Amino acid sequence: MIRGMIEGRPAGFWRRALALALDFAIFFMVRASYRALVRAASGAGDDWTHGPLLSLFTLLFAGAYTIVLHTLFGQTIGKLVVGIRVLADDGPPPLGVSLLRFCAYFASVASFGVGYLMAALRRDKRALHDLIAGTRVERVPKSEESAAPPAARPYASAPAEPPSGATAV
């Protein structure tokens, strides 16, 4: 009972899927931007010429995006939006663990998606890449989600009037 109160709640399959879809939308926007830049710079209009370069750039961007954001903050933009984070022990995964987790994504995909589906089937909601890297994905507690700094109070532009009957000095 107490253990459940101390440990965070695992993020479910659908939350994780939504976070992944949001991150993929970012990857596709970056790919489209890079494609437009390459076409404008080279004047070539076919993807046969630049397709491998586009794929390599997208893969490198996705790797850097995922590894750096997981290492620094424990969450990508997609995970931030849906309120989940990646943890190794008590905090964000270190660089080596984030790199291993990214490489392990390919094992989750290579198994025809069964590696991702494991998050829906397992009680602890860990996917294959989580098991390989020793990480877990949890919901961000509401207290941490709303721990934004208080809004700045505006300063009064004019001094307040003295109470009636009082004289101003």
Residue 158 has pLDDT above 80, yes or no: no
In this prediction, residue 5 carries a pLDDT of 45
Residue 80 covered by a domain: yes
Residue 107 covered by a domain: yes
**Where is pLDDT greater, at 71 or 142?**
71
- E strands in 26-127: 84-87
Structure tokens at 167: 């004289």
Residue 127 covered by a domain: yes
Count, in order, helices (H) and strands (E) of the chain: 8, 2
Report how far residue 100's alpha carbon sits from residue 108's, in angstroms, rounded to the nearest whole number.
13
Domain that holds residue 12: 2-141
Domain count within the chain: 1
SS3 content of the chain, % helix, strand, coil (to 5): 60, 5, 35
pTM to 2 decimal places: 0.78
**Where is pLDDT greater, at 143 or 138?**
138
DSSP conformation class of 54: H
**10 bridge partner residues:** 138
Q: How much is the mean pLDDT over the chain? A: 85
**Stretch 25-29: mean pLDDT, rounded?**
97
Residue 54 covered by a domain: yes
pLDDT, tens digit (0-9, with 9 covering 90-100), for 39-69: 888 776 666 778 888 999 999 999 999 999 9
Q: Are strands 84-87 and 136-139 parallel, antiparallel or unpaired?
A: antiparallel
Residue 102 covered by a domain: yes
Residue 59 covered by a domain: yes
Residue 42 covered by a domain: yes
Residue 17 confidence class, pLDDT cut points 50, 70, 90 = very high
Residue 161 covered by a domain: no
